[in-house]
Every structure is written in C-alpha cells, then in structure tokens.
C-alpha cells in the first residue's frame, strides 16, 4: 500500500512550523531557519540538497535519510514553493532551489491560482493543483509509481490532510527553540481523537524525534 | 533579588500541560500522568515527594533538584490543589498529597472562593487568595524569607503571570507524548514578544529540558 507521509517536519517548543513574516529573505519566516539546525549538518542534507559528500551521521541523519526513502512524489503548500501571494505575476519564479531542486520526482503544489507545469533539471516537475487536497493526493499517488507520497508542508497543508485522516505516518522533530509566533502545527487539532499515537520517540542533543502513526 | 520561577513544568509535544477532564482519578487529566515519566523516577521525586531514599541521578534529576533549590513559597492554581470546582463545599479536602505535603513552606492557592488557611504537617500552610495574581505574588514574596517563589501551575496561572512579564525564569520539560487536548501552554502567548528567550536546552531520552529567561 502506498503511504502518505510527513517527514522531517520540524516545530519549535512553542509549536510553530515556521516563524512569522515569510519573505524572500526569510523563506521560513523570522527565526525559522533555526528550526533546522538538527537537519542541515546531516549527510542526507549535504548529499541530497547541497550535492556535497560531507555531513554528519547518527540518529539525526537516520531520520533525515528515512524521509527520502521510497518517495515517488511530493505535495507542497504554495508558500513552501514561493514567497509570492495571489496570482503568479512573476512566472520566472521557479522555487527556492535553483535549476535542479532536491526532489527529482513530481511535486504537486497546492494553490488557488493556476499555472503551467514547470519541468526542472534532475527529474523534478512542479504541477500546480487548484482543485484541492484530495485531487492533489490522487494525482501524487498516480504519478509516484507505487512509491509513497511525502508532504513537505507547511502547517496549513499538513493540518488539512490530518483532519481528513489521510496521513499514514508523520516524523515530527521538535527543535529546542522558541519562535513566539507563526503557524502552530497542533492548534485546533486533536491528534488523539483523529486516531493517531506516538509510535517511537528518541532525543538527540539537537532535536526530539517522534514517529506518529494511525 | 527574589525571583519568580516556574520549575519542572512539563508539556506534551502538542503543547499541553495536562490532559483533558481532570478528576479525582485523573489529577492531571486523561493521559496527563505520562507527562512526568522523566520526573517520577528521579532521586529528587523519591526523596522530596515520596520520602524514599532511592531514585535516579543524572540530567533529569539535576533539573528536578534545581526546582526545589532556594524556594521560600509556592503559588498554585486552584485546580492544582483540588478537583473540585466552585465553592469549597467539602472542607475535608486538603490537597492531593496527604497530611504532609511536599512543599514545607507557605503555598498560595489562587481561587475565586474564600477559604480559611490550612496548616499541614511538615511546614506546609495553604493560603487561599481571592484577590488576584498580583496579591498572591506580593504575599508569596513577603512570606518567602528572601527566597524565590515557585509557580506550580497550571497552564492558566502560568499564562497570567507570563502576560504580565512577572516570571523571571522557567524550566519547561517536553515529554515525547501526545495528549490531543487540554490546556496549551503557548496558546495565545507570544513568548518572544514578551521578552523571553531560550537560555539553555538539553535533551535526555525522557524529556527535552529548556530554561527560558527574560
């Protein structure tokens, strides 16, 4: 069975998956970059995202690595793809990642504003889905060649799929930082009533890792 | 300078300081007891609360222990003292802790319902304060003999003191569990805008410990 997975999604101690005021300068909002101090030094990040050979191994890297295993497609909220809001007035914007994004599979971007698909180097193709989360999931499963689908975020998209009980597994990392404001992952969500439980947990000096399953 | 401190206050990954539906059977709400799996095995808990000699040492115990250092008075919300709501119809209720509570200093219980002070064995005396958080704090500082005052909780009381920027230091522990519902410590609070920051953090296999200061 194909699974819908959230992987390496990181929140602050006060619950925020990104800081406030996302912009071109602060793709993760103010202070948001600090969320990923557990992830950025890992071999997985260095290899898959930066194209380098270096990087740390160990528990943090194990979690980072499993997030890329058996993924055939991604789903992203529009703000994960772009700091712009509203119409795609600047079609030159092709994501935060340059010509060769770290996905290498189809990526379905949820948006209210239609845009033509965008084929990038290295196998990534961005499709813009305007007819909702169920449609995006159907398309993602179909294009994933039997593999799983990973939701990249943000909080709003994860919450939409959670409320429909469509997520099979979530790896959540808690970074020991405070953001003060932003989008709170568990706000308005009763994760227990939705049928989820904490299946695994382990802490490193950089983060607390949880596996949440149905 | 006397400080107002929160110590060993534990929240779930989804942010809750207690589970839902507090009762005589579930003083910490449903599932709430699991919050304290890092605390209960420690030597500090065994010595100070259970009156036993055994218990674990190490990082978790170090945090538990510092919570009792230099404390001259406590402030508790009424629900920390009792599962009852409304008037004190049953004056036989003398707290969750038996004849010799683990405080051994004056404890100021915030409530809307007046009640006579209650002197217990071992130096604990419960005072019931009906004229608000500022009055309780003034009384607690006065009776603390120059030592610090510790807020025991719950979430609502901590939030009231936080919003007034009256708390000097908080030790928050995050337990790797999900509660789904309850009182969320950071809900409606922008801890950064209030002038706080994360001064220290360290994780064990049982909890992530944060020291938050102004």
List all residues of chain B from 86 to 125 with a beta carbon under 8 Å from chain A. none
pLDDT > 90? residue B152: yes
CB atoms within 10 A of CB B92: 5
Task: Please name every residue paired with A148 in a beta bridge, in sequence order, or none if there are none.
Answer: A71
Could you tell me how far CA A161 lies from the centroid of its own chain? 13
**Hey, are the CB atoms on B198 and A189 less than 8 Å from each other?**
no
- Quote the pLDDT of residue B147: 98
Give strand ranges (E) for chain B: 4-11, 71-77, 106-110, 118-119, 125-129, 148-153, 169-174, 197-203, 208-213
**Hey, are the CB atoms on A186 and B14 less than 8 Å from each other?**
yes
pLDDT tens per residue across span B71-96: 999 999 999 999 888 899 888 899 98
Q: What is the mean pLDDT of residues A203-210?
A: 92
Provide CB contacts within 8 A for A15, sequence distance 6+.
A184, A185, A186, A187, B14, B15, B184, B186
Q: Tell me how close the Cα of B185 comes to any Cα of chain A, in angstroms.
A: 8
Q: Please, are residues A13 and A174 in contact by the beta-carbon 8 Å criterion?
A: yes
Strands A208-213 and A4-12, sheet pairing: unpaired
> Chain A residues with CB inside 8 Å of B178's CB?
191-192, 196-198, 210, 212
Considering only CB atoms, B176 lies closest to which of A189, A191, A210, namely: A210
Considering only CB atoms, B203 lies closest to which of A178, A205, A212, namely: A205
Helix (H, G, I), strand (E, B), or coil: what is residue B18? coil
Distance, in Å, from the CA atom of B201 to the CA atom of B65, rounded to the nearest integer, reads 16
List all residues of chain A from 157 to 186 with a beta carbon under 8 Å from chain B. 172, 174, 176-181, 184-186
- Quote the pLDDT of residue B178: 94
Give the range among B28-37, B51-60, B177-186 with minimum mean pLDDT: B28-37
> Chain B residues with CB inside 8 Å of A15's CB?
14-15, 184, 186
Q: What is the mean pLDDT of residues B114-119?
A: 96
Helix (H, G, I), strand (E, B), or coil: what is residue B46? helix
Give the range among B3-17, B18-32, B141-155, B182-196 with minimum mean pLDDT: B18-32
Provide long-range contacts, Cβ within 8 A and 24+ apart, for B34-43. B34/B175, B34/B177, B35/B10, B35/B11, B35/B175, B35/B177, B35/B179, B36/B10, B36/B175, B37/B175, B37/B206, B38/B10, B38/B173, B38/B175, B38/B204, B38/B206, B38/B207, B39/B8, B39/B10, B39/B64, B39/B173
List all residues of chain B from 23 to 42 with a beta carbon under 8 Å from chain A. 31
CB atoms within 10 A of CB B29: 22
Give Cα separations from A8 to A40, A109, B57, B116 (angstroms): 11, 18, 32, 53
B4-18+27-85+99-213 domain in CATH 3.40.430.10? Answer: yes
- Quote the pLDDT of residue B41: 92
Identify the residue among A196, A203, A204, A206 best suited for mutation to test binding to B, counting B beta carbons within 10 A and taking the highest: A203
- Quote the pLDDT of residue B89: 85
Name the residue among A170, A181, A214 with its Cα closest to residue B13. Answer: A170
Q: Please, are residues A183 and A29 in contact by the beta-carbon 8 Å criterion?
A: no
Tracing tokens 């568990």 back to the chain, one arrives at A186
Question: Measured between CB atoms, does B155 come within 8 Å of chain A?
Answer: no
**Hey, are the CB atoms on A202 and B202 less than 8 Å from each other?**
no
Helix (H), strand (E), coil (C) string for chain A: CCCEEEEEEEEECCCECCCCCCCCCCCCCCCHHHHHHHCCCEHHHHHHCCCCCCCECCHHHHHHHHCCCCEEEEEEEHHHHCCCCCCCCCCCCCCCCCCCCCCCCEEEEECCCCCCCEECHHHCEEEEECCCHHHHHHHHHHHCCCCEEEEEECHHHHHHHHHCCCCCEEEEEEECCCCCCCCECCCCCCCCCCCCEEEEEEECCCCEEEEEEC
Q: Tell me how close the Cα of A60 comes to any Cα of chain B, in angstroms.
A: 13
Helices and strands of chain B, counted as H and E runs: 5, 9
Q: In what order do the strands lie in the sheet with A148-153?
A: A118-119, A125-129, A106-110, A71-77, A148-153, A4-12, A169-175, A208-213, A197-203
- Quote the pLDDT of residue B57: 96
Cα angle for residues B88, B93, B94 (degrees, 5° grid): 115
Distance, in Å, from the CA atom of A10 to the CA atom of A153, rounded to the nearest integer, reads 10
Distance, in Å, from the CA atom of A74 to the CA atom of A170, rounded to the nearest integer, reads 14
pLDDT tens per residue across span B33-48: 889 999 999 999 999 8
Q: What is the mean pLDDT of residues A126-145?
A: 98
C-alpha distance across the termini of chain B, in Å: 14
Name the residue among A5, A42, A2, A27 with its Cα closest to residue A207. Answer: A42
pLDDT > 80? residue B49: yes
**Hey, are the CB atoms on A198 and B212 less than 8 Å from each other?**
no
pLDDT > 80? residue B24: no
List all residues of chain A from 125 to 144 with a beta carbon under 8 Å from chain B. none
C-alpha distance across the termini of chain A, in Å: 14
Q: Give the start-to-end residue ranges of the domains of chain B.
A: 4-18+27-85+99-213
pLDDT tens per residue across span A166-203: 999 999 999 999 999 988 999 999 999 999 999 999 98
């Amino acid at each position: 069975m194909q699974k819908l997975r959230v992987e390496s999604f990181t929140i602050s101690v006060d619950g925020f998956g990104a800081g406030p005021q996302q912009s071109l300068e602060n793709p993760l909002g103010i202070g948001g970059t600090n969320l990923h101090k557990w992830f950025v030094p890992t071999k997985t990040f260095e290899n898959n995202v930066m194209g380098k050979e270096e990087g740390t191994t160990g528990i943090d890297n194990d979690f980072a690595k499993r997030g890329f295993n058996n993924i055939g497609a991604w789903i992203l909220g529009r703000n994960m793809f772009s700091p712009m809001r509203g119409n795609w007035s600047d079609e030159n914007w092709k994501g935060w990642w340059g010509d060769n994004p770290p996905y290498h599979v189809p990526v379905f971007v949820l948006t209210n504003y239609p845009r033509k698909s965008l084929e990038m180097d290295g196998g990534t193709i961005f499709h813009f889905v305007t007819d909702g989360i169920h449609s995006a999931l159907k398309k993602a499963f179909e294009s994933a060649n039997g593999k799983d689908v990973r939701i990249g975020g943000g909080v709003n998209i994860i919450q939409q799929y959670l409320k429909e009980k469509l997520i099979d597994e979530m790896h959540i990392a808690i970074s020991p930082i405070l953001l003060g404001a932003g989008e709170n992952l568990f706000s308005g969500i009763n994760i227990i009533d939705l049928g989820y439980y904490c299946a695994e947990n382990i802490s490193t000096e950089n983060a607390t890792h949880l596996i949440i399953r149905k």
